[in-house]
């Protein structure tokens, strides 16, 4: 689909940003609706307090009793990176606070599916837990929670996904998105929720004198005045928050910033250190994007192709050699995943091509559903994301999980709350969908194989209620043009340190005119270029990732590009580099779309 570059609206409204702030950064922050210097302060003291989380007192009471009475605690995790980091935070954090018997189980997506199902409860019961804690799941596990409680197992649900019409009858639920919750930020990832639970638990234990050695007669406290520092878990919290692509509001930026600081200072767990090494990333120069594009995919590969237990074990390991061995296996799985994904993407694009005669053909559904019997169910989520980025519309990719059942993974675009769309489809067409869950930008569902065609039509119809034809353009939002003197390493470093950048707080993108002096394909699918800025003789290295075998035609060497100004590190040398988001020959532009204002 064709893209256009649109410059963001920047209104120099009344604000309390620092007077000495670089003008470009001021422009960037204002366009992201950041007006107060306090939103640039990332100390832990600025975090929202845990007290407004609904259910937090009941959760802490459960956990205090479990610690005092040395109950067996079992963590039930999700099988993605947020679930893996949530599990590692729960296990490490509870052990730090004095829990003597903590273990975990993560459902294999190919056998049990998502969440605390009755089948997983049966598996968990083999370990004879007294208390089950769900992390990054559970809010829709009505049957699973009921099955656990029938067995006499207490259940604490910690989750961040949107609830359905009914909540599970757990002993306690902590989820900022449950009805009646007053916590100011609804954007916590699963790992952020369990971290908050641990903060609240530590506060209660401190009040009771637990860290001073107080306990109950038969089970005395293991502490003698040494209170654990939960900040040591923030590397995991940062990784899970970035990996789950939750909006980076101020509260989440604090968590990510603090975690990044620990990793850069080489105070992270051995698993993250090993994953960075196999990814070839310098931990001391780490940015949030490195967690999202280098570490998270390797961690996710375990859950996509095999079993997330490997990823969790890597994050829990305190042995450098052991962690590195597991990270190497995760790296190999990620390479296998990329090969599977590439094949699936080719098949998906062929299916899309069959639906239309041109890229702007109105016959192409606005809500796209894709299915091939042979597709790998562990990779459909990332496939949906890739196709969504190409078509600029919501996409659901399906795989067959049983003789008569399909599993779908949905990814959405701005303006379409995908879980609400699925809810509306299910309400209008009872029986069409077996089950669904998720949040605004991503969701999962299952449905009978025979319902695929009917669901595809109903999904497209519902999405059309939310998107007009003009919403289907591929828009690259730009923060304007940089002066030649700003295209340098120092300014690239300034931009990198001005984050953390991420979902709903995007890294700055700029646009400008350049001349191509050199271009070549590297790594089989990336376009490497040497550019000369219009109006001066300075040369810049640039790269367009995943550009395929395409090159800019020789008669179109004048181009306008949208780019990020990044820091490239090669053999110990650091330099500024343009990361190309979009490029077009200038002579093809006969309109003013590059300068259209607004979002």
Residue 427, domain member (yes or no): yes
Q: At what angle do helices 234-243 and 270-279 cross, to 10 degrees?
A: 50
Tokens of residue 373, six digits: 């019997």
400 and 298 share one domain: no
Interatomic CA distance for residues 366 and 364, integer angstroms: 6
Q: Do 191 and 286 fall into the same domain?
A: yes
Q: With respect to residue 243, please indicate whether it lies within any of the assigned structural domains.
A: yes
Alpha helices by DSSP H, listed for 103-209, are 118-125, 142-150, 190-207
Residue 3 lies in a domain: no
What range defines the domain where residue 172 resides?
50-329
In a domain, 493, yes or no: yes
Q: Between the CA of residue 366 and those of 19, 340, 369, 390, 482, what are the distances in Å?
A: 46, 26, 10, 13, 36
80 and 111 housed in the same domain: yes
Q: What does the alpha-carbon distance between residue 256 and residue 38 come to, in Å, rounded to a whole number? A: 16
Residues 129 and 230 in one domain: yes
Q: Which residue shows structure tokens 């800019």?
A: 552
Tell me, yes or no, whether 366 and 325 share the same domain: no
Query: Can you tell me the distance from the alpha carbon of 489 to that of 569, in angstroms, rounded to the nearest whole number?
Result: 11
The pLDDT of residue 247: 94
Beta partners for residue 397, in sequence order: 370, 409
Domain identity same for 140 and 241: yes
> In the 8-state DSSP scheme, what is residue 295?
I
Question: Quick one: pLDDT at residue 224?
Answer: 73
In a domain, 574, yes or no: yes
Does residue 281 share a domain with residue 186? yes
CATH of the domain at 493: 2.40.50.460
Q: Are residues 318 and 436 in the same domain?
A: no
Last residue of a domain, one of 474, 494, 517: 474
Q: Report residue 213 CA to chain centroid gap.
A: 40
pLDDT for position 359: 53
In this structure, are 299 and 180 located in the same domain? yes
Which helix (H) or strand (E) covers residue 431, if one does? none
For 343, residues 6+ apart whose C-beta sits below 8 A from its C-beta are none
Q: Residue 250 corresponds to which tokens in the numbers above?
A: 């101020």
pLDDT given at position 3 = 82
Number of domains in the chain: 3
> Do 418 and 279 belong together in one domain?
no
- The CATH number of whichever domain residue 406 belongs to comes to 3.10.310.30
End-to-end alpha-carbon separation of the chain, Å?
19
Neighbours of 70 (CB within 10 A): 14
pLDDT score, position 590: 42
Low-confidence ranges of the chain (pLDDT < 50): 357, 588-599
Last-in-domain residue among 440, 474, 508: 474
Q: For residue 346, tell me if it sits in a domain.
A: no
Q: Do both 201 and 242 map to the same domain?
A: yes
Contact 109, 303 (CB under 8 A): yes
Cβ atoms of residues 251 and 185 within 8 Å: yes
Residue 93: what pLDDT? 98
Residue where a domain stops, chosen among 474, 498, 520: 474
Residue 305 buriedness (CB in 10 A; 0-12 / 13-18 / 19+): buried
Buried b or exposed e, range 271-290, using 16+ CB within 10 angstroms: bbbbbbbbbebebeebbbbb
pTM assigned to the model? 0.90
Residue 13 forms part of a structural domain: no
98 and 162 in a single domain? The answer is: yes
In a domain, 322, yes or no: yes
Residue 402 has which token pair?
């049983």
Instruction: Quote the CA–CA distance of 313 and 339 in Å, as a whole number.
Output: 25
Residue 436 is encoded by which pair of tokens? 């669904």
């Amino acid at each position: 689909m064709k893209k256009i570059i649109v410059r963001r609206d920047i209104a120099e409204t009344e604000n309390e940003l620092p007077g000495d702030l670089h003008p470009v950064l001021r422009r960037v922050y204002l366009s992201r609706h950041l007006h107060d210097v306090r939103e640039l302060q990332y100390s832990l003291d600025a975090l929202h307090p845990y007290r407004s989380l609904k259910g937090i007192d009941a959760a802490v009471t459960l956990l205090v009793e479990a610690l005092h009475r040395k109950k067996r605690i079992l963590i039930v995790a999700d099988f993605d990176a947020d679930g893996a980091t949530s599990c590692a935070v729960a296990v490490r954090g509870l052990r730090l606070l004095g829990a003597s018997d903590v273990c975990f189980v993560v459902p294999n997506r190919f056998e049990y599916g998502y969440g605390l199902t009755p089948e997983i409860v049966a598996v968990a019961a083999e370990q004879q837990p007294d208390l089950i804690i769900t992390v990054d799941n559970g809010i829709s596990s009505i049957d699973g929670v009921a099955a656990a409680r029938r067995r006499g197992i207490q259940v604490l649900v910690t989750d961040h996904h949107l609830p359905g019409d009914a909540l599970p009858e757990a002993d306690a639920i902590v989820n900022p998105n449950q009805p009646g919750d007053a916590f100011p930020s609804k954007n916590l990832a699963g790992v952020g929720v369990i971290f908050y639970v641990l903060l609240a638990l530590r506060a209660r234990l401190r009040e009771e004198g637990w860290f001073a050695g107080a306990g109950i007669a038969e089970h005395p406290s293991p502490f003698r005045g040494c209170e654990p520092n939960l900040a040591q878990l923030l590397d995991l919290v940062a990784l899970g928050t970035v990996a789950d692509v939750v909006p980076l509001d101020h509260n989440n930026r604090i968590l990510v910033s603090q975690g990044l600081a620990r990793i850069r200072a080489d105070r992270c767990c051995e698993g993250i250190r090993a994953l960075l090494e196999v990814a070839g990333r310098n931990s001391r120069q780490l940015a949030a994007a490195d967690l999202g594009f280098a570490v998270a995919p390797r961690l996710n590969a375990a859950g996509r192709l095999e079993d997330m237990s490997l990823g969790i074990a890597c994050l829990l390991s305190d042995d450098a050699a052991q962690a590195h061995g597991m990270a190497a296996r995760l790296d190999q799985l990620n390479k296998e995943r990329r090969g599977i994904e590439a094949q699936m993407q080719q098949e998906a694009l062929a299916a899309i091509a069959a639906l239309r005669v041109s890229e702007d053909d109105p016959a192409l559904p606005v809500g796209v559903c894709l299915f091939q019997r042979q597709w790998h169910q562990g990779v459909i989520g990332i496939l949906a994301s890739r196709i969504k980025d190409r078509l600029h519309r919501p996409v659901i990719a399906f795989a067959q999980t049983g003789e008569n059942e399909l599993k779908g993974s949905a990814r959405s675009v701005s303006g379409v709350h995908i879980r609400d769309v699925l809810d509306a489809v299910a309400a209008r067409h009872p029986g069409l969908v077996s089950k669904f869950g998720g949040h605004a930008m991503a969701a999962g569902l299952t449905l009978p194989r025979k319902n695929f065609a009917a669901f595809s039509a109903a999904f497209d119809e519902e999405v059309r209620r939310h998107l007009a034809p003009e919403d289907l353009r591929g828009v690259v939002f730009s923060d304007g043009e940089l002066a030649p003197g700003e295209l340098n390493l120092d300014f690239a470093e300034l931009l990198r340190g001005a984050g953390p950048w991420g979902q709903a707080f995007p890294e700055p993108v700029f646009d400008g005119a350049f001349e191509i002096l050199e271009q070549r394909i590297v790594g089989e699918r990336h376009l490497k270029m040497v550019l000369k800025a219009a109006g001066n003789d300075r040369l810049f290295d640039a790269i367009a990732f995943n550009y395929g075998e395409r090159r800019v035609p020789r008669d179109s060497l004048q181009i306008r590009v949208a780019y990020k100004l990044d820091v490239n590190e090669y053999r110990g040398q650091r330099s500024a580099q343009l990361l190309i988001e979009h490029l077009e020959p200038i002579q093809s532009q006969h309109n003013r779309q590059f300068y259209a204002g607004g979002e």
